Chains A and B, each alone.
Chain A
Amino acid sequence: MKRTPLWVRILQYAFLIVAVIFALYPVWFAVIASGRLGGRLYTLSLPGMFFPVEWTFNNYREMLFDRPFLSWLTNSLKVASITTVFSLIVCTSAAYALSRFRFRGREMILVFLLALSTFPGLLSLVAIAQLLTAFKLFGSHLGLILAFTTATLVFCTWNLKGYFDTIPIDLEEAAQIDGTTPLQAFLLIGLPLAKPALAVTAILAFMTGWGDFIFSSVLIPGPESAKLAVPALYGMANNVGIDWGLFASGAVFVIIPTVLVFLALNRFFESGLTLGGVKG
């Protein structure tokens, strides 16, 4: 292989550095604003827009101890985790049937799932809200969990089914010769091999609940202590006379862990496992 000329290298690095600034600055901006004195979003000193020239932890302290932020976080964690568990159980069961059995209408069900998912969730929310009201679940976390779980069903079933398909069925057939039932063979041999797909599906299901704005803002209108972190912070930012430092520290608390989880799992995302669950 030829060596790359020096000027090409320099151009490549220049491009990458500009791209990295583009990629990181919005998050970095929130981090700086979260430590700024006086609850201001901006500072008139230019260096202050790019470097933490002043720093205080007061915003974080007030957010954590004087505001319902901790209950927002725990609500979000609770709702998102239970959604993940529900959706993994339900989807694994469906994906198992769709991948390991040949039956009439199998392909039809797969297309049916996809067709349903083209109806935007935002638009079915009116009906879902009425339905949950009828079942006295409106405004409760359980209702939200049910709505989130069904919102994940299609991509989660598709993802898992696709991955189960790539696991050779021979291994399970060998176990069946040793006397297990097909289901046992799948649970003992197939499922452990599907760990990467389960991990990615779990994280996508978790993010459905964790990052959602529309469902959780409509289905949980109040009280403050019942809200989830993302809609609550959004509501905070649109209040008049908001303390920006507080908002920024809350946003940092939500954004940074999310980014870190994605970074930790980035090799799963790079394996192309998520094509069925592309998120804009």
Chain B
Amino acid sequence: MGSKGGRKGLTIFLFLMPTLLGLLVFNVYPILLNTYMSFTDRNKTRTQPACEAVASKVLDPLCWPVFEQNTRARGRPYEIQQPLFENYRFMLGQFFSGPALLSLLQIGIIFVPLVAANVVNRRLDQNLDRPISSTAVWVIAIAAVALLAFVIGLREAYDQLMRTGPFIVVVFKTILFVAIRVPLTFVFGLALALILNSNLPGRNLFRILLFVPWGASSVAILVALIWRFLFYEAGPINQVLGLMGIVGPKWLQSPTLAFGVIVLADIWFSYPFFMVTILGALQSIPQELYEAADVDGASWWTKLTRITLPLIRPAVLPAAVLTSITAFQMFGTAYGITQGGPLTGANTPGATEFVMVYAYNQIYNYAQWGRATAFAVMIFLMLFAATLFSLRVTRITKGAYES
């Protein structure tokens, strides 16, 4: 038995080896080098390692014997910084100060009614007949959010937060982007899927035409360039507006409008995925449920909120979580359209500089390796937590043998 087990182990190892080796060299090693670099002051003028340091000798390829014949560039070498967390401190800025934490708390409080509405609805669902419909609870909650936003001053809290440091600014903007983009994409995809799921003549043609952006999204950066052209000052959008007698704005020069354009373009890229996922889920809902509801005289809205939405939830929730994570890492759309601009002031990230665009600009346009890698480490931790959470929601690690 022992030798048989050993052979099995060897077989498994051989099958897995190419993958593990590739990941070790191209994923694990970069993470290690990144983490090390985030504690150094490497930047445009200090590109070379000080090979006397043990960590540099092991981690930086420039210190490896393969490189010894190459002539080193001049200039002072980069070294580990004192204090150690200087790059992290720079990235976080004034985050751990009173006003910044207060404004974060204020923003948190503003959205409490939404959480409360969710809890209340769940409670009420346990009763047989509810005194108030779930839609009404949500409407009240949204009204409460608007009221709180006005009373507490969402605008000031947001502005305060935007003055803290690059990390918070960039991450907050990206979260804002995800929070707008994903629900809108869901609603748009849902509307299309509901229509396409009815017995509408010509629905197959529409389905195929509406699928086109998914294909285009794999060459996202080129299509994003086209989106940029659409919103130029003399572009087609402003020409159509001009026809209606409106002088079109400079879309890509205004921080808010540029943000909106990127949201719109990213919805364009990603709605087919939602549409297709929802369509698949809709087709698995038994028709009898709707017929029974029709007998009871249920309205269209009741059928949607009481039958359709709960039944597509298991299929749509994992998709929503996964697209939220990919939307957080969106690069091509924003880089193709604005490259992170327009600028909002000296030394602050641009209006559409989302996490990946910011990292790219820091590395390839400003050569701020030390800071960019510190930023990367913090983003990695966030994404890691988000992925662990998504595993719980989607349960995709279960194998063939588990049920």
A contact residues vs B (CB 8 Å cutoff): 1-2, 4, 9, 12-13, 15-16, 19-20, 22-27, 29-30, 33, 41-42, 44, 46, 49-50, 89-91, 93-94, 96-99, 101-103, 106-107, 109-111, 113-120, 122-128, 130-131, 133-135, 146-147, 149-151, 153-154, 157-158, 161-162, 164-166, 169, 207, 210-211, 213-214, 218, 230, 233-234, 237, 251, 254-255, 258-263, 266, 269-272, 275-276, 278-280
- Nearest 8 CB-CB pairings of A with B: A262-B215, A124-B30, A165-B400, A127-B30, A97-B15, A280-B326, A259-B215, A150-B26
Instruction: Kindly provide the distance from the CB of A41 to the nearest chain B CB, expressed in whole angstroms.
Output: 6
Contact A29 B236 (CB under 8 A): yes
A2-B294, A26-B226 known; A126-B369 Cβ under 8 A = yes
Q: What residues on B are CB-neighbors of A266 within 8 Å?
A: 208, 211
Contact A260 B215 (CB under 8 A): yes
Q: How far is the CA of A266 from the CA of B363 in the complex (A)?
A: 37
Scoring B215, B322, B356, B376 by chain A CB atoms within 10 A of each residue's CB, the highest score goes to B215
Which of chain B's residues 373-403 have a Cβ closer than 8 Å to chain A?
373, 376, 379-380, 383-384, 386-387, 391, 394, 396-397, 399-401
Q: What residues on B are CB-neighbors of A29 within 8 Å?
A: 226, 229-230, 236
| Chain A to chain B contacts (Cβ below 8 Å), 29 pairs | A16-B192, A19-B188, A19-B192, A19-B210, A23-B209, A29-B236, A42-B236, A44-B234, A103-B9, A109-B20, A116-B31, A118-B380, A118-B384, A120-B359, A122-B359, A131-B26, A134-B61, A135-B66, A158-B396, A213-B335, A234-B221, A251-B226, A255-B219, A272-B277, A272-B280, A278-B326, A279-B217, A280-B329, A280-B330
Q: What residues on A are CB-neighbors of B360 within 8 Å?
A: 122, 214
A90-B19, A134-B66 known; A12-B200 Cβ under 8 A = yes
Q: Which one of B60, B188, B273 contacts A278 once the chains associate, using CB atoms below 8 Å?
A: B273
Interface string of B41-62 (1 = CB under 8 A from A): 0000000000000000000111
Instruction: Kindly provide the distance from the CB of B142 to the nearest chain A CB, expressed in whole angstroms.
Output: 24
Closest chain A residue to B227, Cβ basis: A26
Instruction: Kindly provide the distance from the CB of B68 to the nearest chain A CB, expressed in whole angstroms.
Output: 11
Q: How far is the CA of A139 from the CA of B234 in the complex (A)?
A: 39
A23-B210, A214-B331 known; A130-B221 Cβ under 8 A = no
A134-B64, A162-B396, A166-B400 known; A120-B276 Cβ under 8 A = no
Contact A46 B243 (CB under 8 A): yes
Known A-B contacts: A42-B232, A262-B212. Give 15 more (CB < 8 A).
A1-B291, A16-B195, A22-B268, A26-B223, A42-B235, A93-B15, A103-B12, A118-B380, A123-B373, A130-B62, A131-B30, A147-B26, A150-B26, A214-B331, A258-B216
Contact B23 A116 (CB under 8 A): yes
Q: What residues on A are CB-neighbors of B9 within 8 Å?
A: 103
Instruction: Kindly provide the distance from the CB of A36 to the nearest chain B CB, expressed in whole angstroms.
Output: 12
Instruction: Kindly provide the distance from the CB of A200 to the nearest chain B CB, expressed in whole angstroms.
Output: 13
Closest chain B residue to A278, Cβ basis: B322
Q: How far is the CA of A110 from the CA of B19 in the complex (A)?
A: 12
Q: How far is the CA of A15 from the CA of B401 in the complex (A)?
A: 45
Q: How far is the CA of A254 from the CA of B220 in the complex (A)?
A: 11
Q: What residues on A are CB-neighbors of B279 within 8 Å?
A: 270
Closest chain A residue to B401, Cβ basis: A102
Instruction: Kindly provide the distance from the CB of B332 to the nearest chain A CB, expressed in whole angstroms.
Output: 6
Q: What residues on B are CB-neighbors of A20 within 8 Å?
A: 206, 209-210
Which of chain B's residues 145-193 have a Cβ closer than 8 Å to chain A?
188, 191-192
Q: What residues on A are CB-neighbors of B139 within 8 Å?
A: none
Q: What residues on A are CB-neighbors of B18 within 8 Å?
A: 89-90, 93-94
Contact B208 A164 (CB under 8 A): no
A94-B15, A122-B359, A254-B222 known; A27-B212 Cβ under 8 A = yes
Q: What residues on B are CB-neighbors of A131 within 8 Å?
A: 25-26, 29-30, 61
Q: How far is the CA of A90 from the CA of B239 in the complex (A)?
A: 52
A97-B12, A107-B399, A279-B326 known; A122-B230 Cβ under 8 A = no
Contact A149 B387 (CB under 8 A): no
Contact B12 A101 (CB under 8 A): yes
Instruction: Kindly provide the distance from the CB of A252 to the nearest chain B CB, expressed in whole angstroms.
Output: 10
Closest chain A residue to B266, Cβ basis: A280
Closest chain A residue to B210, Cβ basis: A23
Q: How far is the CA of A165 from the CA of B399 in the complex (A)?
A: 7
Contact B217 A280 (CB under 8 A): yes
A12-B195, A234-B222 known; A42-B209 Cβ under 8 A = no
Q: What residues on B are CB-neighbors of A164 within 8 Å?
A: 400
Q: How far is the CA of A110 from the CA of B398 in the complex (A)?
A: 10
Contact A107 B397 (CB under 8 A): yes
